[in-house]
Amino acid sequence: MALYADSLALNLLRKNFNISNDDNKPIIALAGNPNTGKSTIFNGLTGLRQHTGNWPGKTVGRAEGYFKYKEEEFLIIDLPGTYSLLANSTEELIARDFICFARPDLTLVVADATNLERNLNLVLQVLELSTNTILVLNLLDEARRKGIKIDVKKLEACLQVPVIPAVAREGLGLEEIKKTCYQISKEKIKIKGFKITYSREIEEKIEELIPLLKRKLPFLQKRINWRWLALRLLEGDKTILASINTYYPIYQERVNIFQKGEVQLDGFNQVWLK
């Protein structure tokens, strides 16, 4: 019963993102830096089974579609191309809020294999928010042409997520993407996901903050990654509280205690809490 109520609540919340998913298909978010081949992958997976429009209330384009593997059908949403999830632009805000609040079952992050170092920034940020992440290493033909060799197994071991090599323009890797989505959502294979450990000072603050957040914002239990939320607050990110207000409007009073500074988190974020 609780589970049923939870899925109803989640479906209701997902309507904010224009998602109708009353038949509870697994939802896949497609993230990545611009020009990594995200649209090529999206088109390759969905074919003609797609629909385009704008994100609600925004002039940013949005595409959603379906793909099937065996008997299972997946709903895939193409997020705006971004370099980070820090909510510094409308695109970043959309991508972050989608992963944080619409809670996709899986996030596929597409990375440009010719520029892995830069692309890993977003991969790590997505992983920090949700371990249900798969890395698609695209443009491998370009990488090969440039003499770049990537040890996929090693990368997989480091990040502790599935890494799928792809040349999307030639359709290579798409079958593996579908199969991996299926295995993870259907066979409930757990993705461990690399966890960044910060300096002792920051880790102590996180430890201190999490119980306080759980106490003050109990409605977010099982609905948010507490460690990630603590990190955002420690870095003084105001946009996350605004987004919680947007997606959980009936709890605004509780969120406001942080905004008004009634609850002191001290240290890093004193400045903006005042």
Ligand X SMILES: Nc1nc2c(ncn2[C@@H]2O[C@H](COP(=O)(O)OP(=O)(O)O)[C@@H](O)[C@H]2O)c(=O)[nH]1
Contact footprint for ligand X (CB under 6 A): 32, 34-40, 81, 138-139, 141-142, 167-169
Using the minimum distance from each CB to Mg ion, give the nearer residue, 34 or 211: 34
Q: How far is the CB of 79 from Mg ion (least distance, A)?
A: 10
We find the least distance from the C-beta atom of residue 32 to Mg ion, in angstroms, to be: 9
Residue 224: CB atoms within 10 Å: 20
Nearer to Mg ion, 92 or 128 (CB): 92
- Which lies closer to ligand X via its Cβ, residue 67 or residue 101? 67
72 binds, among Mg ion, ligand X, none (CB under 5 to 8 A by kind): none
Residue 36 binds which entry of Mg ion, ligand X, none, CB below 5-8 Å type-dependent = ligand X
Residue 12 backbone phi and psi in degrees, to 5: -65, -45
Least separation in angstroms between CB 224 and ligand X: 28
- Judged by CB under 5 A, how many residues of this single chain contact Mg ion? 2
Residue at 210: amino acid letter: I
Q: Which stretch binds Mg ion (CB under 5 A): 32-40, 87-95, 190-198, 206-214?
A: 32-40
Indicate the Cα dihedral angle 58, 25, 180, 84, nearest 10°: 20
Choosing from 11, 18, 21, 39, the residue that interacts with Mg ion (CB under 5 A) is 39
Cα separation, 94 vs 55, whole angstroms: 8
Contacts for 5 with CB less than 8 Å, ≥ 6 apart: none
Min separation Cβ 235 and ligand X, Å: 27
CB of residue 264 vs ligand X: minimum separation in angstroms? Answer: 42
For ligand X, the closer CB: 36 or 185:
36
For ligand X, the closer CB: 109 or 213: 109
Residue 5 token pair: 């109520």
Q: How far is CA 20 from CA 27, 85, 224, in A?
A: 11, 24, 21
Residues 37-46 as b/e (b if ≥16 CB within 10 A, e otherwise) read: bbbbbbebbb
Report residue 224 as tokens: 């948010």
The distance of closest approach from Cβ of residue 226 to ligand X in the complex, given in angstroms and rounded to an integer, is 31
Residue 142 binds what, of ligand X, Mg ion, none (CB under 5 to 8 Å, by partner type)? ligand X
**Which residue is at the shortest CB distance from Mg ion?**
39
Category of 128 on φ-ψ map: left (φ > 0), alpha (ψ -120 to 50) or beta: alpha
Give the count of beta carbons closer than 10 Å to the beta carbon of residue 265.
20
Query: Footprint of Mg ion on this chain (CB under 5 A)?
Result: 38-39
